[in-house]
Structure 1
């Protein structure tokens, strides 16, 4: 009997739903919640100056609105899988979407910075449930042989959010009121909940272990410290020594959790899943790809807006073209993976992705816009192919009993490396400014950062090269 034969089949109701449920409808519906989350995370950046003026605060203080969201997400991420198992993933996913919409409305109605921060904390807590629980619903209702195609649809919102966010944010701030950045989540949530109720199969509650309070506290504190530390890397918002202290305390907390989880059957995060080659390669190796993905929007915004002098709306309109490349990937990823397999695609595509990042460093103020947009479109395609491959392969060896912990763990790593990417970009620009002896950013300062980010992605190949040629074959009905 093969390993795949030992994996319980998804609920019967998923099979009764036919191709409509197993095709693009269910992942697209779940993706609506992810789109609401990723879009809001990128749109708010463009609105910070207008929000600061409305509250009578310094613009730099509005950074708290972003930081508190990340902190809340870090605290509640570890427990999301346990809550989904206890109360049912579908029910928790719908409740999280409703809470996210209500907290978004509270952000829109906020009349002061403390009110906004409180609302953003609730929004971050809800966001911590939307991502991993939504992915868990898909994992438990989709056969493994169809999961790559479903993941290619599900990952679209995560890729589209950072791309269309600056465009939408620039348009709202320029032509409307910044509060609509939060109000636009309401119709998305209403439509999403209605569609989930109508089309998404019910995912029953799973047998749950006792809640691991110690594990939740250690992982939550550890993640929060690391994310907050990376958010302030290369900045001067905190006193000297505070950032190294955050890193030290965060790493200590996670080390203590490792000792706590050793031999503990009820640990909130199952560290043994990192022994699975496919999960380790997709999560740890893939983290270097996601670091670059986290840095890229920030660096492109600095290059196009500060370096080239484009408006926020014009820069957002230009980078939107990378979404076209990502959309083109949606239908081509499954046949590519069936033809070549995960290992070959990940290795070859890692080089292509690294080259595309390095190519951004060749942009100059006089470079024709059509050429910039063409390079961005190609880069968007191959990055999307890489993330679809990583997200699909991660669950190849995960059985149904450990799906919730695997989904939560993957989300925690992604949240952490996203903040690492932003912190790396900020620190890299600070270093390049000092190296060039400049007091402000120019395109000459920003351009060298792209090859460095591209080189970071190549580190992932150390994990990909160790995969078997037929690794993850059951995910796309490919046999070695």
Structure 2
């Protein structure tokens, strides 16, 4: 495997993942310039997520039809165009539209990058390659808020988007030079009805979760949107069972490894969505820290995520997917629970140490679960698997934020008071319980599941190989 390939893909994904959260701390400044309220401008965050939900299912079909490399490079250009339009926007409508365009580019960039990696990497090297893509997925959302706050404070919010231009141009050039050519195929005709149903199901659900957790609109709007999303999901399920080539192929779930990775990964990802939402709020509301101070503490999780590539491959070779994911799931739940024990008296170094270890554990989990998703999937179905995985990822992250926000809202409604530190403590503890449930799909897996990817061998097999090697 050409080692520059995962590096190019990782840089592009870091740009996309960071941009999903980078404007969070800059909303007041952007809203002031556009002449609207910060709450109203949160529609820009929602527009980005809705765009992802609509166009991710289309990414697999487009990669097969036009070639994965070509679609990936086109996605970078669309993302750059959206970034420029965000920087020059002078109205709410223009800014929200530009964020929607950015989401279109991001929707194609993430799953197609994973597809390029799967199709250009030997299965025995897939774990190491996936670790490169896991890092930006975890570091980007953590880096976004402090970086956005720093740029807005010392420069201008416009540079949050303009900085994407040189990074994107470099990525476009390098991807043209180094990414392998993956031949386009002749996929079946686009499943138009399935695309509409899946788009409404995913976007309705994500929009509803966003409105419920960040009430820029009345909560009833979010509830009705979620209901519409679930109805369309049910209609899509009926449609996909009879369609010969559905845009999101539910037959993928017949593969036990993919099914476990999808269900367990989605449950664990709820924590990934909830913790970055809860931690900055707790540090600011409960501890009285500034946004920049809280951002610098939460960024510690990125340090742990970066170190995963060093040992993820060895851990999987030693323990296999099943044991690694169970251990990482339990450890992730415990560390999320520990967040609920922090108080203003807790030394910063202790909080940072916990967040570093938590970042390491989460990165190990997702490196493993992403590789497991493709462990037994034939190459011909890789594009379908990338689309399905990306949709589940975005929806579970949105559900994590919504769950955390709903817990805080319910606690405030019950107590009739403003948010207090104890509210955040309870929220972390409830999220940790959901995180723990994520290990259940992996308990029933075979210890040898995905062994061709993890390189795991049972002790007896390793001993036989050693004896055979000595005799040879």
- Fold in common (TM above 0.5): yes
- Which residue of 1 is the match for residue 430 of structure 2? 452
1:344 aligns with 2:327: no
Alpha-carbon distance between aligned partners in 1 of 2:370 and 2:89, rounded to the nearest angstrom: 37
Is 2:19 the partner of 1:40?
A: yes
Kept in 2: contact 1:29–1:196 (CA 8 A): yes
User: CA offsets per residue over residues 218-252 of structure 1, 9 Å max, x none?
Assistant: 00011111001111124544346333321221111
Q: In the alignment, is the contact (CA less than 8 A) between 1:346 and 1:386 conserved in 2?
A: yes
Contact 1:100 1:127 in 2 (8 A): yes
Match of 2:162 among 171, 175, 183: 183
2:419 corresponds to: 441
Instruction: Identify the residue that residue 133 of structure 1 maps to in structure 2.
Output: 112
Looking at structure 2, the residues matched to 154 and 119 of structure 1 have their Cα atoms a distance apart, in angstroms, of 26
- Counterpart of 1:171 in structure 2 is 150
Comparing 428-437 with 387-396, greater Cα deviation is found at: 428-437
Runs of 4+ in 1 over 6 A off after TM superposition: none
Name the residue aligned to 1:14: none
In the other structure, the counterpart of 1:228 is 207
TM-score relative to the length of structure 1: 0.93
Q: 1:416 aligns with which of 395, 405, 412?
A: 395
The answer to whether structure 1 residue 370 and structure 2 residue 349 are counterparts is: yes
Q: Which of these residues, 356, 359, 377, is aligned with residue 398 of structure 1? A: 377
Q: CA deviation at 1:260?
A: 1.1
Whether the 8 Å contact between 1:26 and 1:200 is mirrored in structure 2 is yes
1:216 to 188, 192, 195: 195
Q: Is it true that 1:83 corresponds to 2:83 in the alignment?
A: no
TM-score, normalisation: structure 2: 0.95
Alpha-carbon distance in 1 for matches of 2:183, 2:213: 46
Counterpart for residue 60 of structure 1: 39
Q: Matched residues in 2 for 1:201 and 1:238: separation? A: 46
Match of 1:3 in 2: none
2:86 aligned residue: 107
Q: Check whether the contact 2:149–2:291 (CA below 8 A) recurs between aligned residues.
A: yes
Task: Find the aligned partners of 2:416 and 2:96 in 1 and give their Cα distance.
Answer: 37
Q: What is the aligned counterpart of 1:476 among 429, 447, 454?
A: 454
Cα distance in structure 2, aligned partners of 1:167 and 1:72: 24
* Kept after mapping to 1: 8 A contact 2:68/2:184: yes
Question: Where do 5+ consecutive residues of structure 2 fail to align?
Answer: 459-472
1:358 to partner: Cα distance: 0.4
Q: Secondary structure at the match of 2:288?
A: coil
Matched, 1:160 2:150: no
Distance 2:224 2:291 in 1: 35
RMSD: 1.2
Unaligned runs of 5+ in 1: 1-18
1:464 is the counterpart of 2:439: no
The C-alpha deviation readout for 1:279-318, integer Å capped at 9, x for no partner, is: 0111111101001100110101101122111111111111
Residue 202 of structure 2 is aligned to residue 202 of structure 1: no
Within 1, Cα distance between the matches of 2:22 and 2:68? 28
Q: Tell me the residue number matched to 1:116.
A: 95
Q: Verify the 8 A CA contact 1:233 1:424 in the aligned structure 2.
A: no
Partner of 1:97: 76
CA contact (8 A) 2:40 2:216 kept: no
SS for the counterpart of 2:212 is coil
- Mapped to 2, the partners of 1:223 and 1:381 lie a distance apart of 30
Q: 1:231 to 1:185 in 2, by over 3 A?
A: same
| CA distance in structure 2 between the partners assigned to 1:343 and 1:334 by the alignment | 14
Alpha-carbon displacement from aligned partner over 1:63-113 (angstroms, at most 9, x marks no partner): 111111111111111111111111100011011001101110100000111
Q: Report deviation, 1:152.
A: 0.6
* Kept after mapping to 2: 8 A contact 1:436/1:445: no
Tell me the distance in 2 between the aligned counterparts of 1:366 and 1:287: 34
Deviations 1:371-397 (A, max 9, x none): 111111111111111111100101111
| Matched residue SS, 1:242 | helix
SS at match of 2:242: coil
* Superposition pairs of residues 275-354 of structure 1, within 5 angstroms: 275-354=254-333
Q: Secondary structure at the match of 2:335?
A: helix
Q: In 1, Cα distance between the equivalents of 2:429 and 2:367?
A: 23
1:164-199: CA deviation from partner (whole Å, max 9, x where unpaired): 112101101111111111111111101111111122
Q: Aligned partners of 1:41 and 1:244: how far apart in 2?
A: 23
CA distance in 1, matches of 2:116, 2:204: 29
Between the aligned partners of 1:382 and 1:118, the Cα distance in structure 2 is 37
